[in-house]
Amino acid sequence: MDVIARYGGEEFIALLQDTDKDGAIKYAEKIRKLIENYPFRHKEKQPSGYVSVSGGVATFPNDGDTIDTVVRHADEALYIAKKSRRNKVTRYEPFQFSA
């Protein structure tokens, strides 16, 4: 069973059973587009004039062998998405974070 839950103040986490990274990217991108196109009331009062979502995707066990590691890697991918241009979904890739 897939689950979406609030993880922090403005953060949510999706636990997708039997889904590879490409499938998770498609899922996150679908959610991003739904939110981008949803006619929220008063969204014109947002600083950018619209409501957007950024996402980071990491999978178990490819991107970590513990839930903490996978969540940390998804958060790192989210940081890249926000830093690059927001309103974007980014997959975790180890080379992005190597020193």
CATH of residue 54's domain is: 3.30.70.270
How many distinct structural domains can be found in the chain?
Answer: 1
SS3 20: coil
Active site residue 11: no
Which domain, by its residues, includes 56? 3-97
- pLDDT for 97 beyond 70: no
Are the C-beta atoms of residues 80 and 96 closer than 8 Å to each other? yes
Work out the average pLDDT over 4-18: 92
| Structure confidence at residue 83 (pLDDT) | 92
Query: How far apart (Å, rounded) are the C-alpha atoms in residues 26 and 22?
Result: 6
Q: Is 4 left (phi over 0), alpha (psi -120 to 50) or beta?
A: beta
- Report the predicted TM-score, pTM, of the whole model to 2 decimal places: 0.83
* Average pLDDT over every residue of 12-32: 95
Mean pLDDT of 49-72: 92
The Cα–Cα gap between 59 and 12 comes to: 15
Percent above pLDDT 90 for the chain: 69
- Active-site residue, selected from the candidate residues 10, 36, 44, 76: 10
